[in-house]
């Protein structure tokens, strides 16, 4: 592992993403549009306040998952990965470089989407907006890490996109948005305890309902951090210098 190579990789990935207007729009414009729609749907009721913070954190997770899984799959299938692994680049450098690049984009995404939701759409949380940004960014980075790992299980970009509904939608059903997690059937509750998106929703709920969310934020944020580390380690282990 070499921090210089991680930074070189992150710079290269960022340069590629910044050149791709559609991907930028998917990351920055689409979540804003979704939040606007949500505010409009719930224009005359209290539901936007209740569901808004949660969905605000779920959208970046889904979007960063798709963008990262397709971007890293392109590296795996284009022959550049084989070429990179004959250079001094380590497997960890490559995975961390991708995580760093998309993590930075997740930070920008989190700040943009949270700011617009707060100022323009009047989305209000009990805790300060800084906490909300923190959860949104953590959610985006989590999506990035899981997308990096998921790309190992796809052979084509088509398959990578298919992974999204297969892995994200079940988490969406069980994350506590439709039915609070402690009211789920016991087996599903236990399952939802280990799924990463559940903890994103727990964190968002803490920020939405408590002025001082620190206490209830610690556990979900630790679980999210754990998932990020596990996904990145597994993601770099799935890279093989020698292939059949």
Q: Which residues bind another protein (CB under 8 A)?
A: 4-5, 8, 12, 15-16, 19-20, 78-80, 82-89, 241-244
Q: State the angle between helix axes of 47-77 and 21-41 in degrees (0 to 180), rounded to the nearest 10.
A: 160
Q: What are phi and psi of 43, to 5 degrees?
A: -55, -35
Find the shortest distance in angstroms from Cβ 74 to another protein: 9
Instruction: Identify which of residues 22 and 186 has a Cβ nearer to another protein in the complex.
Output: 22
Find the shortest distance in angstroms from Cβ 236 to another protein: 16
Instruction: Identify which of residues 25 and 166 has a Cβ nearer to another protein in the complex.
Output: 25
**In Å, what is the CA distance from 32 to each residue of 26, 55, 56, 113?**
10, 11, 9, 6
Find the shortest distance in angstroms from Cβ 244 to another protein: 5
> CA angle 217-218-224, nearest 5°?
90
Find the shortest distance in angstroms from Cβ 127 to another protein: 40
Instruction: Identify which of residues 12 and 214 has a Cβ nearer to another protein in the complex.
Output: 12
Residues with Cβ within 8 Å of residue 18, at least 6 apart in sequence:
24
Q: Buried b / exposed e across 7-31, counting CB within 10 Å, b at 16+?
A: eebbeebbeebeeeeebbebbbebb
Instruction: Identify which of residues 15 and 214 has a Cβ nearer to another protein in the complex.
Output: 15
Find the shortest distance in angstroms from Cβ 83 to another protein: 4
Contact 10, 97 (CB under 8 A): yes
Measured between its terminal Cα atoms, the distance across the chain in Å is: 25
Instruction: Identify which of residues 7 and 179 has a Cβ nearer to another protein in the complex.
Output: 7
Find the shortest distance in angstroms from Cβ 90 to another protein: 9
Instruction: Identify which of residues 183 and 243 has a Cβ nearer to another protein in the complex.
Output: 243
Instruction: Identify which of residues 19 and 186 has a Cβ nearer to another protein in the complex.
Output: 19
Burial class of residue 214, CB neighbours in 10 A (0-12, 13-18, 19+): exposed
Find the shortest distance in angstroms from Cβ 15 to another protein: 7
Nearest partner of 231 among 134, 133, 152, 136, judged by Cα: 152
């Amino acid at each position: 592992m070499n921090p210089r190579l991680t930074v070189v990789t992150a710079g290269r990935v960022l340069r590629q993403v910044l050149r791709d207007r559609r991907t930028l729009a998917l990351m920055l414009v689409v979540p804003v549009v979704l939040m606007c729609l949500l505010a409009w749907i719930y224009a005359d009721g209290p539901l936007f306040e209740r569901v808004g913070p949660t969905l605000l954190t779920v959208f970046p997770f889904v979007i960063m998952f798709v963008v990262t899984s397709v971007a890293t799959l392109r590296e795996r299938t284009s022959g550049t990965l084989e070429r990179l692994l004959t250079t001094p680049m380590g497997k960890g450098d490559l995975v961390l470089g991708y995580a760093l690049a998309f993590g930075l984009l997740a930070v920008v995404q989190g700040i943009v989407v949270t700011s617009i939701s707060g100022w323009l759409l009047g989305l209000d949380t009990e805790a300060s907006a800084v906490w909300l940004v923190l959860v949104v960014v953590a959610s985006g980075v989590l999506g990035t890490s899981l997308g990096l790992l998921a790309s190992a299980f796809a052979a084509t970009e088509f398959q990578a996109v298919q992974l999204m509904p297969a892995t994200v939608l079940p988490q969406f059903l069980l994350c506590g948005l439709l039915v609070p997690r402690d009211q789920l059937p016991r087996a599903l509750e236990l399952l939802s305890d280990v799924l990463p998106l559940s903890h994103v929703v727990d964190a968002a709920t803490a920020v939405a309902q408590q002025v001082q969310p620190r206490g209830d934020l610690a556990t979900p944020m630790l679980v999210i951090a754990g998932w990020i580390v596990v996904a990145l380690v597994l993601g770099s282990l799935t890279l093989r210098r020698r292939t059949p």
